[in-house]
Structure 1
Amino acid sequence: MVAVRFRCGHGASPDAAAGTERVLTLQRGCPLCMLIAETQRSRAELLRKVAPPERALLANETRVGAEYSWVCPRGHDRYRATVLAVLSGPSCAKCIRNASGTSAARDAGVPSMNAGLRTRTSMTEQRLRMLLAERIRLPQGVNTIRLARMFYGRQEAWPDIVIPALRIAVEYDDPGRSRRAHRGLKQASDREKDDALAEVGWEVIRIRAGGLESLGANSIVCASLTIAAVDRAVERMREIRGDAAVDAVLA
């Protein structure tokens, strides 16, 4: 029997593997740690949400399909769900109903600043913001858009760049060093985000670099982020909202 341990430290412990023939250490994170990284969460955040009796098990969990009991942060009843569903799904059943209620609908599509939002910005994304700011006026202090549904446990989306005057969000996607980012599960979540924003009147322009395929008419496919790619994104804004709207926000 072979016990598997991952570079992140999760998986078979030395004690658990004592009776096996050997321990295979994979030089990558476990599936759960990889999903946590993709969804910009932390294991500590998951441990706060899981029912207390199951925290010890979740602390060393590697499977995204493992099912646990979860505590809704809004005080609703506990619910059973897989780790994957909690990280990528809509939370508990009552949260789902509330997200589509009348009061929530009034705020749907409203951009705002979430000061507590934990995001990571790459150098390329910073360069994209700089290049766009040379062409159009980008507002400061806006990083989220209210949705009419739950998305990754929140009723908001957090695009790379938010342009409230045009109701357009801009995202930069590339496969990263792993060559797996924005593919598979992450690509599916990108599509879900685009759909959720479209429901509340927003368009998402995606600059898809590094060999990523187009996700639709609003995708700018390129080898890497270039001035030409940014110019194409601005031109797409004109096609979506019209020349007058874009001219009104020119830098």
Structure 2
Amino acid sequence: MRMHEDPDTAGHSDAAGTTDQPGTADPAGIAVRFRCGHGADAAEARVTLRRDCPLCMLLAETARSREQLMRRVAPAGRAALARETRIGVEYEWICSRGHSRYRASVRETLTGPGCPKCQKNARAPAARGEGGVPFMKPGLKTRTSQAEQKLRMLLGERIRLPHRVNAIRINRTFYGKPEVWPDIIIPALRVAIEYDSPGRQKTSHRGLKEVSDREKDAALEEVGWAVIRVRADGLEPLGPHSIVCSGVSVGLVDEVLAMLVAIRGQEAVAALMGREPSG
């Protein structure tokens, strides 16, 4: 078995292999094993790639685990999914809301809006009527970084921020939910603020996660909300209302306030400061 320094396209094919194992061979029929341990058995692998398989890479980018994914697949597919490496192959999935089972690719399941009925419900008139409504979702648990907490604290010293909302209804589904959970919500201005950092591994909010961020912004814009994205630690701008920074500071808060004024106007922002607009 030889170690292979994988090229940019290696391991990304969704074509089925020629062996009985899910995704163990490339289109040429060569048995491939990945760093994560998925793919061909060690004794059979002709090539070992020094990176995770496409499925493990997508799971990491969407902050999911294979165990979570396997709980969503129909029982007949669990053994195969445990060994799967591809993201374009279809499986039968169980809707978390009790709707009929449906077929979709692994990629669609991890990044798409849910089963066909969930998609239809999200487009229904009643659902559209609730689009854009901020609300408090009890028991919502999201990971909040120290930088996000500091930004909220500093911004809260300058304008009034509500503490009884943590989610916004949308007219589509996002990761199977008819809502999104921005870092900071300002209902009076209909502006959401997201603090994006690549994290210790320098992979967050890049690649497929960036695509997900764009989809989230589009869902909010559809219901009349604007999104300010604070892009920290080397992340490039994303969307028309991006602020690039190296960390949270008073200067960053000044930039956020200036962006709020540019989006909604001086008078609206001044009202949240508890004073009349100057000039």
**Same topology, TM > 0.5:** yes
- What is the match of residue 15 of structure 2? none
Q: 2:169 aligns with which of 143, 146, 171?
A: 146
**What are structure 1's unaligned runs of at least 5 residues?**
none
Q: 2:43 aligns with which of 14, 18, 22?
A: 18
Q: Secondary structure at the match of 1:248?
A: helix
> 1:62, 1:235 → 2: CA distance?
46
Q: By how many angstroms is 1:240 displaced?
A: 1.3
Relative distance call for 1:63 and 1:110 in structure 2 (3 A) is same
> 1:138, 1:150 → 2: CA distance?
26
| Counterpart code for 2:119 | I
Q: 1:155 aligns with which of 178, 183, 190?
A: 178
- What is the match of residue 109 of structure 1? 132
Relative distance call for 1:35 and 1:112 in structure 2 (3 A) is farther
| Aligned partners of 1:47 and 1:55 also within 8 Å | yes
> 2:61, 2:215 → 1: CA distance?
14
> 2:44, 2:59 → 1: CA distance?
31
> 1:117, 1:86 → 2: CA distance?
22
| Counterpart code for 1:120 | R
| Aligned partners of 1:40 and 1:119 also within 8 Å | no
Q: Secondary structure at the match of 1:138?
A: coil
What's the TM-score, normalizing by structure 1?
Answer: 0.87
Q: By how many angstroms is 1:116 displaced?
A: 3.8
- What is the match of residue 52 of structure 1? 75
Q: 1:186 aligns with which of 209, 212, 220?
A: 209
Q: How much is the aligned-residue C-alpha RMSD, in angstroms?
A: 2.3
Residue 257 of structure 2 is aligned to residue 209 of structure 1: no
Q: 1:6 aligns with which of 21, 35, 39?
A: 35
Q: Secondary structure at the match of 1:119?
A: coil
Runs of 4+ that moved beyond 4 A = none
Task: Give 1 or 2 for the bigger CA radius of gyration.
Answer: 2
| Aligned partners of 1:96 and 1:149 also within 8 Å | yes
Q: Deviations over 1:167-198 (max 9, x none)?
A: 11101112222223222211111111111101
Q: 2:191 aligns with which of 152, 157, 168?
A: 168
Q: By how many angstroms is 1:70 displaced?
A: 0.7
Q: Secondary structure at the match of 2:193?
A: strand
Q: 1:77 aligns with which of 85, 100, 106?
A: 100
Residue 68 of structure 2 is aligned to residue 68 of structure 1: no
Residue 65 of structure 2 is aligned to residue 38 of structure 1: no
What's the TM-score, normalizing by structure 2?
Answer: 0.79
Relative distance call for 1:118 and 1:39 in structure 2 (3 A) is farther
Q: Secondary structure at the match of 2:272?
A: coil
Q: Secondary structure at the match of 1:129?
A: helix
**What are structure 2's unaligned runs of at least 5 residues?**
3-31, 275-279
Q: Secondary structure at the match of 1:148?
A: strand
Q: Secondary structure at the match of 1:58?
A: helix
| Aligned partners of 1:109 and 1:147 also within 8 Å | yes
> 1:118, 1:62 → 2: CA distance?
30
Identity percentage over the alignment? 56
> 1:179, 1:225 → 2: CA distance?
18
Q: Secondary structure at the match of 1:162?
A: strand
| Aligned partners of 2:39 and 2:84 also within 8 Å | no
Relative distance call for 1:239 and 1:20 in structure 2 (3 A) is closer
| Counterpart code for 1:18 | A
